[in-house]
Amino acid sequence: MSLNSVAAIYRFEMARFRRTVWQSVVTPVITTALYFIVFGGAIGSRIQDIDGISYGSFIVPGLIMLTLLTQSLSNASFAIYFPKFAGTIYELLAAPVRPIEMIAGYVGAAATKSILIGAIILATSTFFVDLRIEHPLVMVTFLILTAVTFSLIGFIIGIWAKGFEQLSLVPALLITPLTFLGGAFYSIDMLPEPWRTVSLFNPVVYLVSGFRWSFFGQGDVDIAISLGVTLAFLGLGIALVLWIFRTGYRLKS
């Protein structure tokens, strides 16, 4: 692998991130602050503690995960779709750059952006609630794995999309609803049967649960299962991206 090729793509994408810092950073922070004001303040004051955790603190991992998923998808999908739209993707494909180098550059940049935003939101949350992180290494691990995994999925969406409308189709109709229904703002143990069992088929449940466990030492699902599901999604994303480059799906037409 040529690190120079990876670094060139990575630097280009990070430079674009710096040019759009208001949209990329400030907007998610303001949105998160509003969540804390509405959910943590107005609604949270009327909700009793969940497993000994105040509601305002309880929703912090869910808010970070919600932002991480949506930002990873949008960053990676737009990064690869725009060269397709502008026609410059063919120059990149003709250059002496291996597929793995292109993937590492685009996905690495998208994941870095998402992790930075997640860290900023984490810092912002400390102004609203008392927060503790019992397992910081596990938190960082889930943060990186989730960002990379959904950046890969976003990369796939960017290659698949034929128009700007399709870029927002999957996040709007699939990812965001799954996140809201994945225990971001509540514990799935609060759900009656059979809805609790149905929730276990939602993959986002395992991401949110594992991330929340790193904060409070407890989650809706065993931490080992959450980590296993996250790694399985990462493996699936890598396999799909490698298949796309091997077959040239929507890249050579």
Task: Give the integer Cα–Cα distance in Å for 218 and 136.
Answer: 14
Task: Give the integer Cα–Cα distance in Å for 15 and 44.
Answer: 39
Residues 6+ apart with CB under 8 A from 145: 230, 231, 234
More confident site: 41 or 30: 30
Are the CB atoms for 110 and 14 separated by under 8 Å?
no
Closest Cα partner for 50 from 62, 38, 64, 35? 62
Omega of the bond leading into 194 within 30 degrees of 0 (cis): yes
Reduced to 3 states (helix: H, G, I; strand: E, B; else coil), residue 50 is: strand
Task: Give the integer Cα–Cα distance in Å for 195 and 189.
Answer: 10
- Over residues 83-116, the pLDDT tens digits come to 777 766 666 767 777 778 888 888 999 999 999 9
Cα dihedral 58/179/241/81 (nearest 10):
-110
The reported pLDDT for the residue numbered 40 is 63
- Over residues 51-67, the pLDDT tens digits come to 788 888 888 898 899 88
**pTM of the predicted model as reported, rounded to 2 decimal places:** 0.87
- Over residues 172-189, the pLDDT tens digits come to 777 778 887 888 888 888
The reported pLDDT for the residue numbered 83 is 79
Percent of the chain with pLDDT over 90: 25
The reported pLDDT for the residue numbered 146 is 93
Closest Cα partner for 210 from 230, 225, 224, 226? 226
- Over residues 208-217, the pLDDT tens digits come to 999 999 999 9
More confident site: 18 or 62: 62
Domain positions in the chain are 3-42+51-247
Tokens of 210: 């594992």
